[in-house]
Amino acid sequence: MRLFSQRAFLRMCRYMRRAAFLVCSAHIFERVPGTLNTMKVLVLGPGGREHAIIRALLRDPEVTEVHSAPGNAGIAQDVPVHAIDANDPAQATALARELNADLVVIGPEAPLVAGVSDALREAGFDVFGPSAAAAQLEGSKAFAKQVMEEASVPTARAYVAKNAAEAQAALDEFGAPYVVKDDGLAAGKGVVVTEDRAAALEHAQACFNAGGTVVIEEFLDGPEVSLFVISDGKNVLPLSPAQDFKRIFDNDEGPNTGGMGAYTPLPWLPEGFVQEVVEKVARPTVARMAERGTPFVGVLFCGLAVTSRGVRVIEFNARFGDPETQAVLARLRTPLGQLLRAAARGEISEGTELDWDPRTAVDVVMAAENYPGTPRKGDAISGLDEANALEGVHVIHAGTVVSGEEIHTAGGRVLAVVALGENLGAARNAAYEGVRAISWAGAQYRTDIALKAVENRIHIPAPRD
Ligand code: AMP
Ligand code: GLY
C-alpha cells in the first residue's frame, strides 16, 4: 500500500511490526497511545459539512474515535459532542488536550480566522485547517486577489473601493451585470450580482456604512464549479469537482445563500479540467502562500467559473464547501482520516490516486422559513427515519437540535438529503424522494437541484479573447 508518502509508509510499517509484536506477545489490542497507527479525531464546527466529514471519518479503519464540538442533533447520534465555543482558541485547545486528540479537523471559516488552528498547532496537535494568516485567502477578498495576482492565477479583474465615488467609477468601468462583494467574511451572502446599478451602489454603501470596503469585479459568464484541493502546505491533491446552487429559489432567483444543494461528479466538464485547475490555480496559490511564509495547510476551496475566456477563480475559501462536501465525501472511499492527517503532517504525495464510488451523489438542502433572512426556529421535524431508510439515501444535519423526544429546527439551513445513484437522474430522484419524506412548518427547498445537468442544459460559453 503506497499511501500518501514514503515517510508515512515507513512509519506505517514500523507501527505494523510493533502491532504484530504486541498482538503476539500479549492480548493488547486496545489502543495504546503512540503505538498503533490509529487515531482519535476531534472535528470542530456545528453544521452539515462537519456531519458529512464525521460520517466519512467513521468509515476510516484507522479512526478509532471521533468527537465533535459543538456538533448538532444529527452529529450527536453518531459521536460524542462537546458543548464548547469552537471559535475560541483556548476552549478548542483545552478540549483537544482533554481528549488527547491525534488530529483536529476544523470545519468552518470562523474558527480558522479566529486563530484556532494556530493555537492547536502551537500546543503540538496535528491540525487540518490553515493558520489565521493563510485563512485570509477566504477572510479577505482583497487579500485573495493580491495573492492571485502575485501567483498569476486567472480571476475576474477587480477594484477595491473604499467609498461611493470609487464604487461608482468601478461599476462604470466594468458595466452590467454588476458584481459587488463585501470584503470580509459573509458566509457567501455578502455578494450582490445585479443588472441594477442603483442596487449595486446600495450594497456597496451598506458595506461602507458598516465600516468595510468592497471589491467590485467584472462579471464572469459560464457555469460554476467548486473544486476542493487538499494541501499539505506544498503538495496538492484535488477531490471530485462539484456544483453548488447559491440562490434560494428555483432558476437561480432570489438572494444568495450558503448553498441549497450540490452534485458530483460533473458530466459536462471538459476532460483535463481538474488537472488544469491544479496547474493554473491550486499549485501556484499554495506555492505563493508558502513563499509568503504563510503555508496553506487544509482544503483550498476553488470557486471557479468556466468562462468564454477559460477557467477563472470566483473566490477561494479556506475550508470545505457546504453543501458540496455532503455530496463529495459521500463518494470518497479513500480513508478520510488518513488523508487529512497526511495533509496536517505535510505528507501528501501528489501521485496518490483517490478511490471514488463510481456512483453520482446529489444533495438537496432543506431550509427554515425565511432563510436566508432570519430563520424561523423551533419547529419539530418529521420523517427523518423514513428518509434515512430509503435505498442510497442519508440525511445530514445542519441546524438541528434535540428537544425532548423530537428533533427541532435550529438554524437557516436545517439539513441536507444526500443520495447516491447509478447516474445523475437516479441520484436526483432518490434525493427528492428523501426530501418529500421530511417535513416541518415552513420548510423550503429548491426543486431544480442538478436538473439542468440531467437535461443536458449546461453549456460552456464559446471561447473568445
Ligand atoms: P462569492 O462569495 O465570491 O463566491 O460569490 C457568491 C456568488 O456570487 C458566486 O457563487 C457567483 O454565483 C456569484 N459571483 C461572484 N463573483 C462573480 C463574478 N465575478 N461574476 C459572476 N458571478 C459572480
Ligand atoms: N457552498 C459554498 C460555500 O460553502 O461557501
pLDDT 10s digits, 86-105: 999 999 999 999 999 999 99
Residue span(s) of the chain under CATH 3.40.50.20 come to: 40-131
pLDDT at 109 over 80: yes
Residue whose Cα lies nearest atom 2 of ligand 2: it is 321
CA–chain centroid gap for 358, Å, is: 21
- For residues 176-197, give the mean pLDDT: 83
Per-residue confidence (pLDDT) for residue 5, from 0 to 100: 46
What DSSP state is assigned to residue 379? Answer: P
Per-residue confidence (pLDDT) for residue 31, from 0 to 100: 36
Per-residue confidence (pLDDT) for residue 191, from 0 to 100: 86
CA–chain centroid gap for 133, Å, is: 19
- What is the gyration radius of the CA atoms in the chain, in angstroms? 22
Our mutation pick for probing the ligand 1 site, out of 171, 193, 304, counting the most ligand atoms within 8 A of Cβ, is 193
Res. 79 pLDDT band, cuts 50 70 90:
very high
pLDDT at 284 over 70: yes
Residues 306-319 have pLDDT tens digits of 998 899 999 999 99
pLDDT at 446 over 90: yes
Residue whose Cα lies nearest atom 10 of ligand 1: it is 246
Angstrom distance (rounded) from CA 346 to CA 304: 26
Taking residue 207's Cβ as centre, other Cβ atoms within 10 Å add up to 22
Residues facing 39 on adjacent strands: 63
Angstrom distance (rounded) from CA 341 to CA 449: 33
Per-residue confidence (pLDDT) for residue 409, from 0 to 100: 98
Res. 81 pLDDT band, cuts 50 70 90:
very high
| 158-217: CATH topology | Dna Ligase; domain 1 (3.30.1490)
pLDDT at 275 over 80: yes
pLDDT at 422 over 60: yes
DSSP string, 127-151: EES--TTTTHHHH-HHHHHHHHHHT
Angstrom distance (rounded) from CA 86 to CA 96: 11
Output the ligand 1 site: residues, CB below 6 A: 156, 179, 181, 188, 191, 193, 217, 219-220, 224, 246, 256, 303, 314-315
Q: Is 322 a pocket residue for ligand 2 (Cβ < 6 Å)? A: yes
Res. 216 pLDDT band, cuts 50 70 90:
very high
Angstrom distance (rounded) from CA 128 to CA 106: 6
Per-residue confidence (pLDDT) for residue 189, from 0 to 100: 57
Per-residue confidence (pLDDT) for residue 36, from 0 to 100: 58
pLDDT at 112 over 60: yes
Per-residue confidence (pLDDT) for residue 287, from 0 to 100: 98
C-alpha of residue 416 to centroid of ligand 2, in Å = 14
Per-residue confidence (pLDDT) for residue 185, from 0 to 100: 63
pLDDT higher at 34 or 329: 329
C-alpha of residue 239 to centroid of ligand 2, in Å = 15
Q: Indicate which ligand has the atom closest to the C-alpha of 226.
A: 2
Angstrom distance (rounded) from CA 245 to CA 85: 30
Residues 9-42 have pLDDT tens digits of 434 443 443 344 333 322 222 334 444 589 999 9
- For residues 164-173, give the mean pLDDT: 96
CB 96 within 8 A of CB 102: no
Ligand 2 atom nearest 244 alpha carbon: 1
Residues 347-374 have pLDDT tens digits of 999 889 999 999 999 999 999 999 999 9
Grid cell, residue 212, equals: 468595510
CATH number of 40-131: 3.40.50.20
Q: Indicate which ligand has the atom closest to the C-alpha of 316.
A: 1
Question: Is the alpha carbon torsion for 102, 107, 109, 110 positive or negative?
Answer: negative
Q: Indicate which ligand has the atom closest to the C-alpha of 303.
A: 1
- For residues 47-62, give the mean pLDDT: 98
Grid cell, residue 389, equals: 431508510
Grid cell, residue 387, equals: 428518509
Residue span(s) of the chain under CATH 3.30.1490.20 come to: 158-217
pTM: 0.89
For every residue of 188-215, which 3-state class applies, written as one string? Answer: CCCEEEECCHHHHHHHHHHHHHCCCCEE
Provide the percentage of residues in the chain whose pLDDT is more than 90. Answer: 85
Residues 138-147 have pLDDT tens digits of 988 889 999 9
Res. 186 pLDDT band, cuts 50 70 90:
low
Nearest to 335 by CA among 68, 44, 55: 55
C-alpha of residue 365 to centroid of ligand 2, in Å = 12
